Structure 1
C-alpha cells in the first residue's frame, strides 16, 4: 500500500538553468518500503494555502542493494507556473523534509542479457538513467542504445552521468544525441525527432527487430511519434514501453453519471460503499471518504491510482498510463473513471 513518509533532503544539485536533482535520505526503518525497481517514480506532496498538491518525479538512481536504498535521487525540471517545480528550484534546501510516497510505476526493466533501447526527450532521461545504469552494472551481457533529444546542449539533464556511462561501458552502451534548437558540431543534424525522422533513423542505428524492449519517455508528441515509427518498422507492441511526462489538461467531460450511482472500493484491506456525486470520478468519490486512496497526477499519466474493476462499468476519460494488457485484464485509472452503471466496485489492493 502506497504511503507518504517525511524524508530529509541530503543534496540539491543544479543540473541546468531550469532543472535540479534532489537527493533524499532514507532512514533504515523505511528502506524496505522505499525499495524500487529501475524506472519507478515518487509522488511528492505539499500544502499551499490549505490546498494539497502532488507531483510525480522519476527516480534516477539505480536499483538499490540488498539492504534497500540509503538515498533516492530524483530530477525536477521547472514547469512554467508549476507550483511544485518552482518551489523545488527556488526554495528547497539541504535539511528540509519532503513528504514522499513510496515508489510506484510499471515503466521498469528486469535486467536480462539482451539488447534494449530508449528514445527520450528532455526530462524523460530521468527514469531511463536508472534503467540503463542498473542494467549495465548487473548484467554483463546486456547492451543498451540511448537516443536522446533536447532543446540545446545547455538544457540537457544528467549530461555528466550519461557521459560517465559511455566511458564505463564503451562496448555495451551506444549514445546518440539530437538537439532541436541549435546546430551540433558532430553527430546527427539538429531538429525534432518526429515519426518520419525516426522511421528513417532507427534502422541505421541498430537492428530494430533484435531489440528486446523499447523505452519511450518524454513529452506526449515525442512518445506518440516514436511509437508510430516503431510500429511501422514492425516492432511488436508488447516490446514497447511508454511513460509520458506532460500532456495538455483534459477537456471538460459532460458524460452523465447514472442516477444514484455508488462506488464500492477495497483499499488496504478495508472496504466501503459511497455515493458518486455529479461530475465526480471514482477516485474523487473514494477520496471524500478514504483520503488515503493512492493518487499523484490526476491526469491519467502516472498510473498511481490504478485499480481493478471488480464489477460494473466505467468510462475512462483518457489513459496514458495503462498498457492494453492491463485494461484488457480489468484495470482502470480511478482518476479518469466515471461510473457508467449504477453500481461500480473497484479494488486498489490487487
Structure 2
C-alpha cells in the first residue's frame, strides 16, 4: 500500500546526487519506522506515466517514541526517469507516494565486530546501519571500506567523517578512489578480488568479523564476495545488496535453460485474497497478476530490489535472474515474481508469506 508523503528537504550532496527527506504524518509513524539498512519503494507520476523506484534509507533508525527519519539518497542514473526528475525538479512541498520500509539487508544493533565493502551509492543503507549500530551498541565496532570514482563524487562524505570523529575507537574508515590519487590512504584503482584478498587481512582479523555487508554495483559485490570466500569466510556471515546491474546480453547458464510450459495457469494470494489466471506467452508471474491486481508489489522489475518476493506453493518456475534473494530464501521456496516463468501447467504463489 502506498502513502503520500511530503518532501521536507532536498539537499545536493554531489554533482549527481541528492538526499531527499520525507515528512511522516503522526498517524503513519509506526508504518514508516524502519530497520537500519531497509529501503523505500516510491511511486510518482511523470507525464501521465507511473514510475516506481527503490531507494535505501540513509538516516539512522529511530527508537520509539521518536518520529521515524526518512532520508533517502538518490544518484542520477543514465536515462533514469525518476533520478533525473529528483535532481532537477523535485522540490520541498512536493509529494511522492511510498510503501512501508522493507528489505532484509539489515543489521539490528548487537555487540560484535562488523564490516562493509561498498561502492558508490552503496554507502546509503550502510550509513544507516553503521550510524544506528554505533549509537545504540557501545560494544560494537564497524569497519567501512568504500570505493568511489573521485572525492567529489563521494556521497555522504560529511556524514561518514562525522562517524569517524564521534567514534574514533570503534569506527574504521578506508577509502579507495578508482580515478584519483589521494594524499593519504590507498593507491588509486578498483577494489577487485585480488586486491581485497590482500587488503582485508591487513586491515582487520577477517575470521573475527561477525557480519559483512556488501553493497553497490554487481561487479564490486561479486569481487568482494569472491575475496571473502577465498579468505574462508562463512557464507552465512556475508550479506549483500545489489544497486546496479548492467543489461544482460549473454545467454542463461545451462542449468537455467528450462523450457516454459506451453500453457500454464497461475494462482496467486495477495493480501488474503486469491485469484487464478492464464499466463500469456512470455509473461512473468508478476505481469500475470498485474493484469488483474494493480496492487501487486513491485519496484524495479529487474530482479534486484526483492519487492516482488513470493513463496512458491506448488508447481515449478524458471527465474531469469536473481540478485535479491539469498540462497537460504530460494532453498526455502521463495522466488522473484518479476523474473519467474511457469515450467509446469499449474503454478501457485503466495505474496503474503
- Which moved further from structure 2: 70-79 or 337-346? 70-79
Distance (Å, rounded) in 2 between the aligned partners of 1:67 and 1:52: 34
- Work out whether residues 113 and 139 of structure 1, in 8 Å CA contact, stay in contact via their aligned partners in 2: yes
Distance (Å, rounded) in 2 between the aligned partners of 1:229 and 1:300: 24
- For each residue in 1:315-338, what CA deviation from the matched residue of structure 2 results, as whole angstroms up to 9, or x when unmatched? 000100000000000000000000
Residues 330 and 275 from structure 1, CA distance in 2 versus in 1: closer, same or farther, beyond 3 angstroms?
same
Q: Which runs of 5+ in 1 are unaligned?
A: none
> What is the SS of the residue equivalent to 1:36?
coil
Pair 1:101-2:99 in alignment = yes
Could you say which residue in structure 2 is the equivalent of 1:235? 233
C-alpha displacement at 1:308, in angstroms?
0.4
Pair 1:262-2:297 in alignment = no
Could you say which residue in structure 1 is the equivalent of 2:293? 290
Candidates 205, 208, 232, aligned match of 1:207:
205
Residues 255 and 68 from structure 1, CA distance in 2 versus in 1: closer, same or farther, beyond 3 angstroms?
farther
Residues 255 and 328 from structure 1, CA distance in 2 versus in 1: closer, same or farther, beyond 3 angstroms?
closer
- Work out whether residues 118 and 214 of structure 2, in 8 Å CA contact, stay in contact via their aligned partners in 1: yes
Q: TM-score, normalised by structure 2?
A: 0.96
Distance (Å, rounded) in 1 between the aligned partners of 2:331 and 2:11: 42
Pair 1:110-2:108 in alignment = yes
- For each residue in 1:128-187, what CA deviation from the matched residue of structure 2 results, as whole angstroms up to 9, or x when unmatched? 000000000111000000000100001100000000000110000000011111110001
- For each residue in 1:54-103, what CA deviation from the matched residue of structure 2 results, as whole angstroms up to 9, or x when unmatched? 11100001112213644300000011111010000000000100111211
Q: Which runs of 5+ in 2 are unaligned?
A: none
Could you say which residue in structure 1 is the equivalent of 2:277? 274
Give the RMSD, CA atoms, in angstroms. 1.3
- For each residue in 1:91-120, what CA deviation from the matched residue of structure 2 results, as whole angstroms up to 9, or x when unmatched? 000010011121111100111110000000
Distance (Å, rounded) in 1 between the aligned partners of 2:283 and 2:261: 12
Pair 1:38-2:41 in alignment = no
Distance (Å, rounded) in 2 between the aligned partners of 1:250 and 1:288: 26
> What is the SS of the residue equivalent to 2:291?
helix
Pair 1:78-2:76 in alignment = yes
Distance (Å, rounded) in 2 between the aligned partners of 1:231 and 1:71: 36
Distance (Å, rounded) in 2 between the aligned partners of 1:91 and 1:263: 41
Distance (Å, rounded) in 1 between the aligned partners of 2:329 and 2:296: 20
Candidates 140, 143, 157, aligned match of 1:142:
140
Paired residues, what number?
A: 348
C-alpha displacement at 1:249, in angstroms?
2.5
Candidates 41, 58, 67, aligned match of 1:60:
58
- Work out whether residues 58 and 73 of structure 2, in 8 Å CA contact, stay in contact via their aligned partners in 1: yes
- Work out whether residues 9 and 21 of structure 2, in 8 Å CA contact, stay in contact via their aligned partners in 1: yes
Distance (Å, rounded) in 2 between the aligned partners of 1:153 and 1:92: 25
- Work out whether residues 265 and 348 of structure 1, in 8 Å CA contact, stay in contact via their aligned partners in 2: yes
- Work out whether residues 152 and 182 of structure 1, in 8 Å CA contact, stay in contact via their aligned partners in 2: yes
Distance (Å, rounded) in 2 between the aligned partners of 1:285 and 1:257: 15
Could you say which residue in structure 2 is the equivalent of 1:332? 335
> What is the SS of the residue equivalent to 1:164?
helix
C-alpha displacement at 1:256, in angstroms?
5.2
